[in-house]
A = this chain, B = another copy of it.
């Protein structure tokens, strides 16, 4: 179950790789339907896709973790209630509008669940809704209800890929990972490209498995897997109002050891988390910060997050500029704001494996500077260039490689460690986010 090293040169290669991952576990089917509509709040034509994931039989073995944002979307409010239901029979997901703090949002989402239930022989309480997109706008409920029959008619039990594509917003490519364990499999899809931060992001993740796992075990394993994966990534500190990671088992494959399943689930979560960062809005470098010899894992994770969220360092990386002063500044800012002072005398920093700081001073020379710059350049996902109009857009629609900017922070004061993933701060990020709604 080692991570797959992706080294795509073309979209066709990426497509071929997706084919190796797409097979649905037994007991599930997937259907989608797209339609055009006019949002009431900004009367310009838009396209929405509805994705439907259905279990052949409702299952008691499902779980989900949700955003900690104080203004959760209506689907999150409903989803928390669904956790108390006896079984789950379907998931219905729309992109484009997130149904957050919109008038009547909960009622709207419940109407959609009821329509899905009626079309699939379920009760509304057995349907988990999810939405992602613009905050504050109202869902076009009539239009959504009108395409539910189309999505139902499209249901097929071969591939999860239509849903992986259907839930995308500004994502450049579908994110889809699977593992096989004995006779069963786990398949996960993720949507998420911005507003990505610890404690769940504008990120929707749906993980399906046919491996039988009791509800309580499944939920505990999900929480543990999320903690070491999606809770250790950050594109821009912006936790969304809609983040959801849901898992559901059809229970058709017996006798897989819980530990084996947990390892597979963790792998899926880690791979998808890294995919989400690599596909972050405008991301040209993925940062991987490994904090070691820390007092505890919470301390290590917080320090890693501080580094991947430091705008000046992120900008320097975007420019392939090994401005290691800004790395030390970011670490020092975080440590200086803690209640208790941290002993930094044994701290050792590496960038691309090259020692850059030790004994309280920088360890630099022109040869090292060249090697650091080469490390940044080889980790670049694509080169930045504006269009004729001056706008910047990511030019690729597949992940060309899985290399990262590797940052090591060895504190020398404990035995704990943590790895946090993040991204640089680029013109492409600003372009995508300065005028997203229009």
Which residues of A approach B to under 8 Å, CB–CB? 41-43, 67-72, 98, 100-103, 105, 134-137, 194-195, 197, 199, 236-241, 309-313, 315-316, 318-319, 321, 323-326, 328-337, 341-342, 344, 357, 360-362, 364, 366, 369, 385-386, 390, 392, 425-427, 429-431, 433-438
Contacts and interface: CB of A to CB of B under 8 A. Distances in A.
Number of copies: 2
Given A199-B336, A319-B435, 15 more contacts: A41-B369, A67-B336, A70-B341, A72-B332, A101-B360, A102-B361, A238-B330, A239-B336, A311-B425, A386-B386, A386-B390, A426-B430, A427-B427, A427-B430, A429-B430
A386 B312 CA distance: 21
For the complex of A and B, the 6 pairs showing the least CB-CB separation, nearest first, are A135-B325, A319-B434, A386-B390, A315-B433, A71-B332, A70-B335
Contacts of A100: 325, 328-329
Contact of A311 (B72, B238, B360): B238
A364 B315 CA distance: 35
A130 B294 CA distance: 33
A68 B336 contact: yes
A136 B362 contact: yes
A222 to B, nearest CB: 20
Contacts of A331: 70-71
A323 B431 CA distance: 15
Contacts of A357: 101
Contact of A102 (B69, B334, B362): B362
Contact of A328 (B101, B324, B431): B101
Contact of A315 (B72, B102, B430): B430
Given A70-B336, A312-B433, A427-B430, A325 B43 contact: no
Nearest to A329: B241
Contacts of A311: 236-238, 311, 425, 429, 433
Contacts of A426: 430, 434
A310 B430 contact: no
